[in-house]
Amino acid sequence: MNKVKELLKVHGKPSREVYFDHENSGWVPPEVVEAMLPYFNKKGYGHPAITNKPGWEAYEVLEETIQVLSETLNVNEGGEFIFTHSGTEANNLAIMGTAFAHKGGDRRKIVVTAIEHPSVLYPAQELEKFGFKTVVVPVDDEGFVDPEILMAYIDDETLLVSVQMVNHEIGTIQNLGELVEVVKDVDSRIVFHTDAVDAYGRVPIDIKELGVDLMTISSHKIHGPKGVGVLYKRDGVKIKRIIHGTLSTQVYWPGVENIPAIAGFKKAIELAFNDFENNIKRMKQLRDLLFDEILNNIDDVVVNGPLGDERAPDNVNVSFLHVEGEALTVELSLRGIYVSSGSACTSRVLEPSHVLLAIGRAHEEAHGSILFKVTRYHTRDDVKYAVEQLKDAVSKLRAMSPLTVR
């Protein structure tokens, strides 16, 4: 039984490969890998909360990473960074940790938007079993939350509001400052969490100015290794541990911190923020080139999410009508172009992307969706090559389809 091996053998290695699936996980540059390597067996391989040299060296990694996080997010004082082992864990800690810290209180309402990541939506839904009430705020057809509509969901029972800064699928950059203000104006005690996993390193973030209480970040979304998530917590915001065990350097997430991965994450942050403005500019140019090439070369395409400055610089999400997205990901994979789809056929529950349904896409539109994330490592030629392959792949599948009018 070695099925994947057989599959990979038949698949073969395409003559040219371009990876765009940074939504699901990312390619890690050599500098980041190199930054990790010493911490497996040269230094800092110890436990960061133990009194020996390899332990203190491990602790140094945490301290330095917190330093770069603070600098890049403008947090000088009055907050802490909690290391988890994924963005999913950090989001769970934010949602469930806040709820459990207020169990038995008068405030039992959790407000989330319809396009949040599952690691926010599912824990919020799970909390209903513990007597909390979760309400889901709708978004418009580009994924924006209207401040007035959000207001309508806030009342004196509201404990927590969670609104993503940038949507992971359709790239909508939320006008978060305004939303925080609206909520805090009603009652400053309402905890405001933002999932900034797709914002960090791609849009400027100033935590102090934003006034959020909790913020989630993930390493593998910015070319860092998998296995590191971070929850920022403003001082005075109450949360409770949701997993239990030996505490290490921090009180909210027990277990040994993943030091080599955190060392890689630190390097990834430095690379993303070194020449930040130019990195963003480059991503935007590639994003717009990819949109233009697709829309100029392929018919019957629908853009999912906003265009221009309201869209994340790395996000391209389009639906190819009359084509099923999973088939398209496989066809493109055979051609060396690696992407993902919001089609039901790629999912465990056979339902298409909840984000695409929330912005009003019909099922057949969601089934044909393809998500690309461009990076500063892509070239214009990568984009043009990908669209050549894409054009052929879409034609091939449309020719198979009984839905296509030919």
CB 206 within 8 A of CB 224: no
Interacting residue with another protein among 109, 367, 376, 378 (CB under 8 A): 367
Q: Which residues are CB-neighbours of 178 under 8 A, at least 6 positions away?
A: 147
Positions of E strands within 154-300? 158-162, 191-195, 214-218, 229-234
Q: For the CA atoms of the chain, what is the radius of gyration?
A: 22
113: left (phi over 0), alpha (psi -120 to 50) or beta: beta
Shortest separation between residue 180's beta carbon and another protein, angstroms: 25
Going edge to edge, which strands form the sheet with 315-320? Answer: 301-303, 315-320, 369-373, 340-341
Q: Which one from 345, 385, 391, 404 is the annotated catalytic residue?
A: 345
Interacting residue with another protein among 192, 342, 376, 378 (CB under 8 A): 342
Residue 214, beta-bridge partner list = 193, 233
Total residues interacting with another protein, rule: CB under 8 A: 45
Residue indicated by tokens 């209207």: 146
Shortest separation between residue 210's beta carbon and another protein, angstroms: 27
Under the binding rule (CB under 8 A), the answer on residue 344 touching another protein is yes
Under the binding rule (CB under 8 A), the answer on residue 10 touching another protein is yes
Which of 272, 332 has the CB closer to another protein? 332
The mark string for 156-175 relative to another protein (x by CB under 8 A, - otherwise) is: -------------x------
Q: Which residues are CB-neighbours of 183 under 8 A, at least 6 positions away?
A: 150, 154, 158, 161, 190, 192
Residue indicated by tokens 């940790």: 97
Interacting residue with another protein among 86, 343, 375, 389 (CB under 8 A): 343
Which of 3, 244 has the CB closer to another protein? 3
* Binders of another protein in range 17-36 (CB under 8 A): 23-24
* Binders of another protein in range 117-146 (CB under 8 A): 118
Residue 348 corresponds to which tokens in the numbers above?
């465990």
Residue indicated by tokens 């020719």: 399
Interacting residue with another protein among 53, 363, 380, 384 (CB under 8 A): 363
Is 345 known to be catalytic? yes
Under the binding rule (CB under 8 A), the answer on residue 7 touching another protein is yes
Residues near another protein (CB under 8 A): 3-4, 6-7, 9-11, 23-24, 118, 169, 322-327, 330-331, 334, 340, 342-355, 362-364, 367, 371, 399-403
As annotated, the active-site residues are 345
